[in-house]
Amino acid sequence: MFIDLRSDTVTKPTQGMKEAMFTAELGDDVFGDDPTVITLEEKAAKLFGMEAALFCASGTMTNQLAIRVHTLPGSEVICDKMSHIYLYEGGGVSLNSFSSLKLLEGNKGRINAQQVRDAINNPDDIHQPVTRLVSLENTMNKGGGCYYQLSDIEAIRQVCNEHQLPLHLDGARIFNALVETGESTLTHGQLFDSISICLSKGLGCPVGSLLIGKKDFIKKARRFRKVMGGGWRQAGFLAAAGIYALDNHIERLKEDHARARKIGQMLEGVPFVEEIYPIDTNIAIFRLPDSILATEFVAKAKEHELGCVTFGKHLVRFVTHLDFSDEHLMEFERVIKGIAF
Protein backbone atom coordinates (compact mmCIF):
# COMPACT_ATOMS: atom_id res chain seq x y z
CA MET A 1 0.00 0.00 0.00
CA PHE A 2 1.53 3.30 -1.11
CA ILE A 3 0.58 6.15 1.22
CA ASP A 4 0.69 9.38 -0.76
CA LEU A 5 0.87 12.42 1.50
CA ARG A 6 2.86 14.62 -0.87
CA SER A 7 -0.11 16.97 -1.35
CA ASP A 8 -3.88 17.15 -1.38
CA THR A 9 -3.57 17.57 -5.16
CA VAL A 10 -2.93 13.83 -5.61
CA THR A 11 -6.57 12.85 -5.11
CA LYS A 12 -8.54 10.95 -7.72
CA PRO A 13 -12.21 11.72 -8.51
CA THR A 14 -14.70 9.79 -6.41
CA GLN A 15 -17.28 7.59 -8.11
CA GLY A 16 -19.97 10.21 -7.62
CA MET A 17 -17.71 12.88 -9.11
CA LYS A 18 -16.95 10.67 -12.12
CA GLU A 19 -20.63 10.14 -12.76
CA ALA A 20 -21.24 13.88 -12.62
CA MET A 21 -18.39 14.47 -15.06
CA PHE A 22 -19.49 11.86 -17.59
CA THR A 23 -23.08 13.10 -17.64
CA ALA A 24 -22.22 16.81 -17.86
CA GLU A 25 -23.90 18.97 -20.47
CA LEU A 26 -21.22 20.56 -22.64
CA GLY A 27 -20.61 23.58 -24.80
CA ASP A 28 -17.62 25.72 -25.76
CA ASP A 29 -16.31 27.84 -22.92
CA VAL A 30 -14.26 30.14 -25.16
CA PHE A 31 -17.53 31.06 -26.87
CA GLY A 32 -19.05 31.35 -23.42
CA ASP A 33 -21.75 28.73 -23.93
CA ASP A 34 -20.68 25.72 -21.88
CA PRO A 35 -23.69 25.42 -19.54
CA THR A 36 -21.87 23.43 -16.88
CA VAL A 37 -19.02 25.93 -16.68
CA ILE A 38 -21.57 28.74 -16.42
CA THR A 39 -23.35 26.90 -13.61
CA LEU A 40 -20.10 26.38 -11.70
CA GLU A 41 -19.05 30.02 -12.07
CA GLU A 42 -22.45 31.30 -10.95
CA LYS A 43 -22.49 28.87 -8.02
CA ALA A 44 -19.05 29.94 -6.80
CA ALA A 45 -19.81 33.64 -7.15
CA LYS A 46 -23.08 33.25 -5.24
CA LEU A 47 -21.33 31.23 -2.53
CA PHE A 48 -19.10 34.20 -1.72
CA GLY A 49 -21.70 36.87 -2.44
CA MET A 50 -19.71 38.23 -5.38
CA GLU A 51 -20.84 39.14 -8.88
CA ALA A 52 -18.97 36.76 -11.18
CA ALA A 53 -16.35 34.02 -11.43
CA LEU A 54 -13.95 32.57 -13.96
CA PHE A 55 -13.05 28.87 -14.20
CA CYS A 56 -9.35 28.30 -14.87
CA ALA A 57 -6.86 25.46 -15.05
CA SER A 58 -4.94 26.21 -11.85
CA GLY A 59 -4.60 28.36 -8.78
CA THR A 60 -1.43 29.82 -10.19
CA MET A 61 -3.42 31.05 -13.18
CA THR A 62 -6.19 32.56 -11.06
CA ASN A 63 -3.71 34.33 -8.80
CA GLN A 64 -1.72 35.63 -11.74
CA LEU A 65 -4.84 36.84 -13.51
CA ALA A 66 -5.96 38.69 -10.41
CA ILE A 67 -2.61 40.42 -10.04
CA ARG A 68 -2.55 41.29 -13.74
CA VAL A 69 -5.96 42.93 -13.57
CA HIS A 70 -5.39 44.76 -10.28
CA THR A 71 -2.00 46.24 -11.18
CA LEU A 72 -0.18 48.25 -13.84
CA PRO A 73 3.41 47.77 -15.04
CA GLY A 74 5.76 49.08 -12.39
CA SER A 75 3.37 48.39 -9.53
CA GLU A 76 4.23 46.81 -6.21
CA VAL A 77 2.26 44.05 -4.49
CA ILE A 78 2.38 43.59 -0.72
CA CYS A 79 2.46 40.01 0.56
CA ASP A 80 4.19 37.77 3.08
CA LYS A 81 7.61 36.40 2.16
CA MET A 82 6.25 32.84 2.29
CA SER A 83 3.37 33.53 -0.09
CA HIS A 84 2.59 31.12 -2.87
CA ILE A 85 2.51 34.00 -5.38
CA TYR A 86 6.16 34.63 -4.56
CA LEU A 87 7.62 31.17 -3.95
CA TYR A 88 5.67 28.85 -6.21
CA GLU A 89 4.41 30.68 -9.28
CA GLY A 90 7.55 30.88 -11.39
CA GLY A 91 8.17 34.59 -10.98
CA GLY A 92 4.81 35.23 -12.61
CA VAL A 93 4.23 38.58 -10.91
CA SER A 94 7.28 39.98 -12.72
CA LEU A 95 6.72 38.12 -15.97
CA ASN A 96 2.97 38.58 -16.37
CA SER A 97 2.30 41.88 -14.61
CA PHE A 98 5.69 43.63 -14.78
CA SER A 99 5.32 44.31 -11.07
CA SER A 100 7.45 43.77 -8.00
CA LEU A 101 6.68 42.31 -4.58
CA LYS A 102 7.23 43.86 -1.17
CA LEU A 103 7.81 40.87 1.09
CA LEU A 104 6.76 41.10 4.72
CA GLU A 105 7.68 38.78 7.57
CA GLY A 106 4.44 37.81 9.22
CA ASN A 107 3.45 35.24 11.81
CA LYS A 108 3.77 31.90 10.00
CA GLY A 109 2.89 33.69 6.79
CA ARG A 110 0.10 35.85 8.16
CA ILE A 111 0.67 39.58 7.96
CA ASN A 112 -1.15 42.21 10.02
CA ALA A 113 -2.71 45.59 9.40
CA GLN A 114 0.17 47.63 10.84
CA GLN A 115 2.67 45.81 8.63
CA VAL A 116 0.53 46.56 5.59
CA ARG A 117 0.17 50.20 6.58
CA ASP A 118 3.93 50.58 7.03
CA ALA A 119 4.65 48.86 3.70
CA ILE A 120 2.55 51.15 1.52
CA ASN A 121 4.80 53.40 -0.54
CA ASN A 122 4.32 57.14 -0.81
CA PRO A 123 2.63 57.52 -4.21
CA ASP A 124 4.28 60.91 -4.68
CA ASP A 125 7.80 59.53 -4.28
CA ILE A 126 9.04 58.86 -7.82
CA HIS A 127 11.85 56.67 -6.49
CA GLN A 128 9.45 53.96 -5.37
CA PRO A 129 7.01 51.73 -7.23
CA VAL A 130 3.35 52.52 -6.66
CA THR A 131 1.66 50.15 -4.24
CA ARG A 132 -1.43 48.81 -5.99
CA LEU A 133 -2.40 45.54 -4.32
CA VAL A 134 -2.31 43.60 -1.05
CA SER A 135 -2.44 39.81 -1.24
CA LEU A 136 -3.17 37.37 1.60
CA GLU A 137 -3.02 33.57 1.64
CA ASN A 138 -5.48 31.52 3.69
CA THR A 139 -4.74 28.85 4.74
CA MET A 140 -1.01 29.45 4.64
CA ASN A 141 0.81 26.58 2.96
CA LYS A 142 4.31 27.40 4.20
CA GLY A 143 2.88 28.24 7.59
CA GLY A 144 1.74 24.65 8.03
CA GLY A 145 -1.90 25.23 7.12
CA CYS A 146 -2.51 27.98 9.66
CA TYR A 147 -5.30 30.45 9.02
CA TYR A 148 -6.19 34.09 9.64
CA GLN A 149 -8.50 35.33 12.34
CA LEU A 150 -11.41 37.24 10.83
CA SER A 151 -10.64 40.33 12.89
CA ASP A 152 -7.12 40.49 11.41
CA ILE A 153 -8.50 40.38 7.87
CA GLU A 154 -11.03 43.08 8.73
CA ALA A 155 -8.24 45.31 10.03
CA ILE A 156 -6.22 44.83 6.83
CA ARG A 157 -9.34 45.57 4.80
CA GLN A 158 -9.70 48.86 6.66
CA VAL A 159 -6.13 49.86 5.80
CA CYS A 160 -6.76 48.97 2.15
CA ASN A 161 -9.91 51.10 2.16
CA GLU A 162 -8.01 54.06 3.60
CA HIS A 163 -5.44 53.84 0.79
CA GLN A 164 -7.86 52.75 -1.95
CA LEU A 165 -6.03 49.48 -2.45
CA PRO A 166 -7.66 46.25 -3.64
CA LEU A 167 -7.28 43.17 -1.43
CA HIS A 168 -6.78 39.76 -3.05
CA LEU A 169 -7.10 36.38 -1.37
CA ASP A 170 -5.13 33.35 -2.46
CA GLY A 171 -7.75 31.04 -1.01
CA ALA A 172 -6.42 27.80 -2.45
CA ARG A 173 -7.39 26.13 0.85
CA ILE A 174 -9.93 28.68 2.09
CA PHE A 175 -12.50 25.98 2.82
CA ASN A 176 -10.02 24.27 5.15
CA ALA A 177 -9.96 27.50 7.14
CA LEU A 178 -13.71 28.03 7.10
CA VAL A 179 -14.65 24.56 8.34
CA GLU A 180 -12.36 25.18 11.31
CA THR A 181 -13.57 28.69 12.16
CA GLY A 182 -17.21 28.21 11.24
CA GLU A 183 -17.15 31.53 9.41
CA SER A 184 -19.24 31.98 6.29
CA THR A 185 -18.08 32.34 2.71
CA LEU A 186 -20.33 35.40 2.42
CA THR A 187 -18.43 37.17 5.19
CA HIS A 188 -15.13 36.60 3.42
CA GLY A 189 -16.57 37.64 0.08
CA GLN A 190 -17.37 41.05 1.55
CA LEU A 191 -13.77 41.59 2.65
CA PHE A 192 -11.92 40.91 -0.61
CA ASP A 193 -11.95 42.42 -4.07
CA SER A 194 -10.94 39.08 -5.58
CA ILE A 195 -10.66 35.52 -4.34
CA SER A 196 -8.91 32.51 -5.86
CA ILE A 197 -10.22 29.13 -4.73
CA CYS A 198 -8.71 25.78 -5.69
CA LEU A 199 -10.92 22.81 -6.56
CA SER A 200 -8.12 20.30 -7.08
CA LYS A 201 -6.72 20.29 -3.52
CA GLY A 202 -8.89 19.33 -0.56
CA LEU A 203 -12.07 19.37 -2.61
CA GLY A 204 -10.74 16.52 -4.71
CA CYS A 205 -11.26 17.66 -8.31
CA PRO A 206 -8.84 16.48 -10.99
CA VAL A 207 -8.23 20.00 -12.34
CA GLY A 208 -9.34 23.55 -11.78
CA SER A 209 -9.53 26.76 -9.77
CA LEU A 210 -11.91 29.71 -9.75
CA LEU A 211 -11.30 33.44 -9.66
CA ILE A 212 -14.15 35.41 -8.12
CA GLY A 213 -14.82 39.15 -8.20
CA LYS A 214 -16.90 41.91 -9.75
CA LYS A 215 -18.25 41.55 -13.28
CA ASP A 216 -15.89 44.10 -14.83
CA PHE A 217 -12.93 42.53 -13.05
CA ILE A 218 -13.81 39.04 -14.31
CA LYS A 219 -14.39 40.37 -17.82
CA LYS A 220 -10.82 41.70 -17.89
CA ALA A 221 -9.49 38.49 -16.34
CA ARG A 222 -11.21 36.44 -19.06
CA ARG A 223 -9.36 38.42 -21.71
CA PHE A 224 -6.00 37.88 -20.01
CA ARG A 225 -6.84 34.18 -19.55
CA LYS A 226 -7.12 33.94 -23.32
CA VAL A 227 -3.81 35.77 -23.78
CA MET A 228 -2.16 33.26 -21.42
CA GLY A 229 -3.50 30.40 -23.50
CA GLY A 230 -6.02 29.53 -20.81
CA GLY A 231 -9.12 29.36 -22.97
CA TRP A 232 -10.59 25.87 -23.04
CA ARG A 233 -13.45 24.35 -24.97
CA GLN A 234 -15.66 21.56 -23.56
CA ALA A 235 -14.52 22.34 -20.03
CA GLY A 236 -17.87 21.27 -18.62
CA PHE A 237 -16.43 17.82 -17.88
CA LEU A 238 -14.12 19.47 -15.34
CA ALA A 239 -16.65 22.05 -14.19
CA ALA A 240 -19.06 19.25 -13.27
CA ALA A 241 -16.41 17.89 -10.90
CA GLY A 242 -16.20 21.35 -9.32
CA ILE A 243 -19.97 21.55 -8.80
CA TYR A 244 -19.95 18.10 -7.22
CA ALA A 245 -17.06 19.06 -4.94
CA LEU A 246 -18.71 22.24 -3.71
CA ASP A 247 -21.87 20.28 -2.96
CA ASN A 248 -20.26 17.25 -1.31
CA HIS A 249 -16.65 17.75 -0.24
CA ILE A 250 -16.47 20.86 1.93
CA GLU A 251 -17.68 19.62 5.32
CA ARG A 252 -15.67 16.40 5.02
CA LEU A 253 -12.46 18.47 5.17
CA LYS A 254 -12.79 18.15 8.94
CA GLU A 255 -11.89 14.47 8.53
CA ASP A 256 -8.62 15.44 6.86
CA HIS A 257 -7.84 17.80 9.72
CA ALA A 258 -8.50 15.12 12.32
CA ARG A 259 -6.21 12.65 10.54
CA ALA A 260 -3.47 15.28 10.22
CA ARG A 261 -3.61 15.82 13.98
CA LYS A 262 -3.34 12.07 14.53
CA ILE A 263 -0.26 12.08 12.31
CA GLY A 264 1.16 14.72 14.65
CA GLN A 265 0.48 12.47 17.63
CA MET A 266 2.12 9.51 15.87
CA LEU A 267 5.24 11.58 15.22
CA GLU A 268 5.70 12.27 18.91
CA GLY A 269 8.51 10.20 20.33
CA VAL A 270 9.87 9.14 16.92
CA PRO A 271 13.68 9.37 17.30
CA PHE A 272 14.38 11.48 14.22
CA VAL A 273 11.57 14.02 14.85
CA GLU A 274 13.02 17.13 16.49
CA GLU A 275 9.93 19.33 16.35
CA ILE A 276 6.34 19.06 15.17
CA TYR A 277 4.76 22.27 13.92
CA PRO A 278 1.27 23.12 15.23
CA ILE A 279 -1.35 21.37 13.07
CA ASP A 280 -4.31 23.65 12.37
CA THR A 281 -5.82 22.04 9.28
CA ASN A 282 -4.64 19.29 6.90
CA ILE A 283 -0.87 19.99 6.81
CA ALA A 284 1.61 18.36 9.18
CA ILE A 285 5.23 19.56 9.16
CA PHE A 286 8.08 18.23 11.27
CA ARG A 287 11.74 19.13 11.65
CA LEU A 288 14.60 16.66 11.42
CA PRO A 289 17.89 16.95 13.32
CA ASP A 290 20.70 18.82 11.58
CA SER A 291 22.38 15.48 10.82
CA ILE A 292 19.53 14.36 8.54
CA LEU A 293 18.55 16.19 5.36
CA ALA A 294 14.91 16.35 4.36
CA THR A 295 15.86 14.96 0.95
CA GLU A 296 17.34 11.91 2.67
CA PHE A 297 14.19 11.32 4.66
CA VAL A 298 11.91 11.71 1.64
CA ALA A 299 14.00 9.18 -0.31
CA LYS A 300 13.94 6.68 2.56
CA ALA A 301 10.22 7.20 3.10
CA LYS A 302 9.59 6.44 -0.57
CA GLU A 303 11.43 3.13 -0.14
CA HIS A 304 8.86 2.36 2.58
CA GLU A 305 5.92 3.25 0.27
CA LEU A 306 5.35 6.62 1.92
CA GLY A 307 5.14 9.79 -0.17
CA CYS A 308 6.00 13.19 1.29
CA VAL A 309 7.90 16.33 0.27
CA THR A 310 10.73 18.47 1.57
CA PHE A 311 9.67 21.82 2.98
CA GLY A 312 13.10 23.15 3.84
CA LYS A 313 16.58 21.77 4.42
CA HIS A 314 15.42 19.82 7.48
CA LEU A 315 11.64 20.12 7.17
CA VAL A 316 9.19 17.51 5.84
CA ARG A 317 5.53 18.02 4.95
CA PHE A 318 2.60 15.58 5.00
CA VAL A 319 -0.79 16.64 3.62
CA THR A 320 -3.96 14.66 4.30
CA HIS A 321 -6.80 14.42 1.78
CA LEU A 322 -9.93 12.48 0.84
CA ASP A 323 -7.93 9.51 -0.51
CA PHE A 324 -6.15 9.10 2.83
CA SER A 325 -8.32 6.87 5.01
CA ASP A 326 -8.17 5.51 8.54
CA GLU A 327 -6.66 2.36 7.05
CA HIS A 328 -3.89 4.45 5.52
CA LEU A 329 -3.45 6.19 8.86
CA MET A 330 -2.83 2.90 10.63
CA GLU A 331 -0.33 1.90 7.96
CA PHE A 332 1.35 5.31 8.28
CA GLU A 333 1.99 4.67 11.97
CA ARG A 334 3.59 1.31 11.20
CA VAL A 335 5.77 2.81 8.45
CA ILE A 336 6.92 5.92 10.31
CA LYS A 337 7.99 3.84 13.31
CA GLY A 338 9.84 1.46 11.03
CA ILE A 339 12.05 4.10 9.40
CA ALA A 340 15.49 4.26 10.97
CA PHE A 341 18.61 6.39 10.47
Indicate if the pLDDT at residue 316 is higher than 90.
Answer: yes
CB proximity list for 212: less than 8 A, separation 6 or greater: 44, 45, 48, 50, 52, 53, 54, 189, 194, 195, 196, 197, 218
pLDDT tens readout for residues 64-78? 999 999 999 999 999
Domains and CATH numbers, the chain: 11-248 (3.40.640.10), 252-338 (3.90.1150.10)
CB of 276 within 8 A of CB of 267? yes
Beta carbons within 10 angstroms of residue 73's beta carbon: 8
pLDDT tens readout for residues 140-155? 999 999 999 999 999 9
pLDDT score at 269 = 87
| Three-state SS at 25 | coil
Q: How many helices (H) and strands (E) does the chain have?
A: 14, 13
pLDDT score at 264 = 97
Where does residue 251 rank: exposed (0-12), middle (13-18), buried (19+ CB within 10 A)? exposed
CB of 129 within 8 A of CB of 121? yes
Global pTM value: 0.96
| Three-state SS at 196 | strand
Dihedral, CA of residue 155, residue 158, residue 164 and residue 167, to nearest 10 = 40
